[in-house]
């Protein structure tokens, strides 16, 4: 693992490595970050994939975000990260947006559904962006692990992570991918958008499938090169109970809003995370002004 960047953020030294790993170090008891280091950014609600559980309610007639001209872009710190949703049809301004982010030294990661990742035309475009250094990490939302050539395609890229959803992705699909040296990210199930109806209408309840996954986590951890969880999955799969205090301190990336927050460019708002009911207009705020608002919300919530 090669070290790429190190920067100081408040009382914390942040280091990023070439495989996407990020570490935080402080001499104090608590991390205190001066600026946010990563954002999930929604750039489009236009998507032809029609997933029944789509928490963001995307459809082929959904809207693309305004991608250029936001004031806060210029206030983001070099080597901080964003993760954007890449869907078919591609956002028409995406190339220019990625060029802009790259010129500000922002690390761009994308998440893409397997159906779109396996589309030759999209992959050709993705290849260009990866070669240019515009896209660093690729998160692929799994639909069918047995698809011809899928695992080989995934392995062609150095920074790919397979995304699965707790309670939705069948256990056999996760098992199928074990032993291939892949990285896995387990996401929690979001009951917003179409996710609510899907949750209520299933014959085998999502909660039952989650319990099954929880029971098989040791096998999952042994079957992949790296296994990680988002904060919602940490809660839903009771990950805290499996770790000692020392392991928790070492592996936990921090609560939403403490070093990261969500930005929705389609709606022009930001929030603590993508599920938060409390949102704020972006307007012409800088990234630090937005972060202050999020920190204030957290402070009030814990008072
Ligand atoms: S979950 Fe992703 S791929 Fe599926 S409809 Fe929503 S945006 Fe499209």
For strands 38-42 and 22-25, give the pairing. unpaired
What atom in ligand 1 is closest to the CA of residue 111?
Answer: 2
Which residue has 């999020």 as its token pair?
294
**Residues lining ligand 1, Cβ inside 6 A:** 47, 49-51, 54, 56, 58, 87, 113
Q: How many residues does the chain have?
A: 303
Instruction: Name every residue whose Cβ is closer than 8 Å to that of residue 233 and which is 6 or more positions away in sequence.
Output: 166, 186, 187, 188, 239
Task: Tell how far the Cα of 242 is from the centroid of ligand 1, in angstroms.
Answer: 31
Q: What pLDDT score does 202 carry?
A: 66
53 CA closest ligand 1 atom index? 1
Structure tokens at 260: 């990261």
* pLDDT tens for each residue of 7-44: 999 999 999 998 878 889 999 988 889 999 999 999 99
Burial of 152 (0-12, 13-18, 19+ CB in 10 A): exposed
**Which pLDDT score is estimated for 137?**
94
Q: State in Å: Cα 55 to ligand 1 middle.
A: 8
Residue 70: predicted pLDDT: 96
Angle made by CA atoms 121, 263, 174, in degrees to the nearest 5? 55
Look at residues 4, 23, 20 and name the one whose alpha carbon lies nearest to residue 12. 23
Q: Using CA atoms, how far apart are residues 138 and 83, in angstroms rounded to an integer? A: 9
**Alpha carbon of 205 to ligand 1 centroid (Å):** 21
Please give the number of the atom of ligand 1 that sits closest to the Cα of 47: 8
Q: Which contacts of 56-63 are long-range, i.e. CB under 8 A and separated by 24 or more positions?
A: 56/85, 56/192, 56/193, 56/274, 57/193, 57/194, 58/87, 62/266, 63/266
Task: For residues 66 and 61, give the distance between their C-alpha atoms in angstroms, rounded to a whole number.
Answer: 16
- The string of pLDDT tens digits covering residues 141-154 is 999 999 999 999 99
Sign, Cα dihedral of 116, 117, 120, 126: positive
Residues 267-288 as b/e (b if ≥16 CB within 10 A, e otherwise) read eebbbbbbbbeeebebeebebe
Task: Return the domain boundaries, the chain.
Answer: 36-141+256-303, 145-253
Atom nearest to 194 CA in ligand 1: 6
Return the SS3 of 40: strand
- Lookup: tokens for 285: 């705020």
The CA 269 to ligand 1 mean position distance, Å, reads 20
Q: How many CB atoms lie within 10 A of CB 9?
A: 19
Full-model pTM: 0.89
Residues in the chain with pLDDT < 70? 193-195, 198-199, 201-204, 302-303
Cα(83) to centroid(ligand 1), Å: 15
DSSP code at position 189: P
């Amino acid at each position: 693992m090669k070290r790429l960047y190190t920067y100081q953020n408040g009382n914390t030294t942040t280091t990023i490595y070439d495989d996407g790993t990020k570490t935080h170090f402080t001499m104090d008891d608590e991390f205190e970050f001066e600026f946010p280091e990563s954002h999930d950014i929604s750039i489009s609600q236009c998507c032809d994939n029609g997933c029944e559980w789509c928490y963001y309610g995307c459809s082929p007639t959904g809207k693309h975000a305004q991608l250029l001209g936001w004031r806060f872009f210029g206030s983001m710190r070099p080597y901080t990260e964003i993760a954007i949703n890449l869907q078919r049809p591609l956002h028409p301004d995406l190339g220019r947006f990625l060029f802009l982010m790259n010129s500000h030294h922002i690390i761009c990661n994308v998440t893409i559904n397997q159906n779109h990742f396996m589309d030759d035309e999209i992959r050709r475009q993705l290849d260009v962006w990866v070669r240019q250094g515009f896209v660093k990490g690729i998160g692929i939302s799994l639909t069918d692990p047995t698809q011809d050539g899928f695992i080989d395609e995934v392995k062609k890229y150095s920074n790919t992570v397979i995304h699965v959803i707790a309670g939705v992705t069948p256990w056999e699909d996760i098992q199928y991918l074990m032993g291939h040296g892949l990285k896995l990210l387990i996401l929690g199930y979001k009951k917003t958008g179409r996710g609510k109806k899907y949750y209520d209408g299933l014959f085998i309840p999502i909660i039952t499938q989650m319990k099954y996954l929880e029971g098989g986590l040791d096998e999952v951890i042994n079957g992949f090169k790296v296994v990680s969880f988002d904060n919602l999955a940490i809660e839903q799969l009771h990950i805290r109970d499996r770790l000692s205090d020392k392991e928790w301190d070492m592996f936990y990336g921090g609560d939403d809003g403490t070093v990261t927050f969500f930005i929705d460019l389609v709606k022009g708002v930001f929030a603590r995370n993508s599920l938060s009911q409390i949102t704020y207009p972006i307007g012409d705020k800088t990234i630090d002004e937005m972060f202050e608002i999020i920190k204030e919300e957290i402070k009030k919530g814990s008072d």
